[in-house]
Each structure stands twice: as structure tokens, then as C-alpha cells.
């Protein structure tokens, strides 16, 4: 199922029912923002949460360790968020296996770079209703201006339009730098 980034940001509780998400594209800052929103939303329900990170190549080097981390319970937390970085078409079979078993209390996020339309990974997530696919394209100038205004409002800072534009320009179109 394909979901636009603004939809997931505005309706995060609705989309958390789907426990497996693919975040692909060149906007790493947006991916991190969505990941943080998921953590925040889960923390509202249950403050004990465990986060683990893997790179795709680490999974293939020790597949047994990955599945042990995935399915084993935790002594300190009730929920787990597993993030896989650098996801590619090779991981589709592992994701399919996880989808079939439908693990409880586990959220799986796959971060991937730009995927073309022929990508097996992208096709799996777009066609399967049990998972979510979120394209993360680069921010526009308007998006960056909105982000900057929100951050400035949080800190009660007023800037002129020229200064705001200069900040956006110096951020190199990266929302992390802007924040």
C-alpha cells in the first residue's frame, strides 16, 4: 500500500496498525522524521520501547542473529522497532517471511535509497495491503520554509523573510541541516 509522507505524518496512529514499512528515496531527513514520529506515537501507549538497527548486509552475514532479535522477547521493553538500512531487492524474501508470521509488538522499518518502478522490493510493498510503502522525495523550497517556520515558532524566534530564505539556502536543501 502506497502512502504519501504527509498522510502518514498526519494520521500516524492509523498507519501503525501496519507493522512493516518501506521508506525509500533520497530524503533521509524525512525518513528519520517518520521514524521519530513512530517512536513518539508508540511511546504514548507504552513507554518501554527497544530500538535496534541493522544493515542489510549484516542480516545476510548472520541471518540467525537477525531472526533471534526479531522474534525473541525483551526483558526491558514490550515493543521493538527494528530498522534495516540500505534495503534492496535481495531482502524481499526475508520481508515476505516476516509478513507471513505477523510478529506481535514489533515494528519493522526498511530504509532504502531510490528504487525504480521495476524494483522487487518496491513492488512487494506497493501491492501488499499488509505493509506500507512511503516514497521520500526531496523537500521543495516550500516544504523547507514550512519546516523552518515550525522550528522557529517552537523556539519563539521571529526572522525576516530574507533571513529565513538565507537559512533555507544554507541548509543545502536538507531538513536536518535546517533544523
pLDDT of residue 22: 93
What global pTM score does this model have? 0.82
52, 83 Cβ separation under 8 angstroms: yes
Which of 20, 21, 14, 53 is closest to 133 using CA atoms?
21
- Cα distances from 83 to residues 86, 112, 144, 157, 163, in angstroms, run 10, 11, 26, 34, 37
Alpha helices in 72-140 (DSSP H): 92-101, 120-127
pLDDT in tens, the chain (179 residues): 888 888 887 888 778 888 889 999 988 888 888 888 888 888 887 777 888 889 999 888 888 888 887 877 666 777 788 899 999 989 999 888 888 887 778 888 999 999 898 999 999 999 988 899 999 888 888 888 888 888 888 888 888 889 888 888 888 778 887 77
pLDDT of residue 74: 64
Q: Please return the burial class of 137, using the count of CB atoms within 10 Å of its CB with bins 0-12, 13-18 and 19+.
A: middle
pLDDT of residue 75: 64
Which of 95, 111, 109 is closest to 42 using CA atoms?
109
**What is the residue whose three cell numbers read 526479531?**
70
Amino acid at each position: 500500500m502506497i502512502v504519501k509522507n504527509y498522510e502518514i505524518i498526519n494520521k500516524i496512529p492509523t498507519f501503525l496498525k501496519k507493522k512493516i514499512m518501506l521508506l525509500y528515496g533520497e530524503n533521509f531527513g524525512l525518513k528519520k522524521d517518520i521514524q521519530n514520529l513512530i517512536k513518539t506515537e508508540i511511546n504514548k501507549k507504552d513507554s518501554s520501547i527497544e530500538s535496534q538497527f541493522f544493515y542489510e548486509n549484516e542480516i545476510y552475514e548472520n541471518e540467525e542473529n537477525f531472526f533471534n532479535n526479531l522474534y525473541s522477547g525483551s526483558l526491558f521493553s514490550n515493543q521493538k522497532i527494528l530498522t534495516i538500512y540500505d534495503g534492496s531487492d535481495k531482502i524481499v524474501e526475508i520481508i515476505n517471511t516476516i509478513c507471513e508470521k505477523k510478529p506481535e509488538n514489533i515494528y519493522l522499518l526498511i530504509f532504502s535509497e531510490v528504487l525504480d518502478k521495476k524494483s522487487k522490493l518496491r513492488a512487494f510493498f506497493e501491492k501488499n495491503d499488509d505493509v506500507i510503502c512511503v516514497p521520500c522525495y526531496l523537500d521543495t523550497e516550500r516544504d523547507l520554509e514550512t519546516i523552518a517556520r515550525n522550528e522557529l515558532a517552537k523556539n519563539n524566534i521571529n526572522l525576516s523573510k530574507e533571513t529565513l530564505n538565507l537559512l533555507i539556502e544554507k541548509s543545502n536543501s536538507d531538513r536536518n541541516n535546517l533544523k
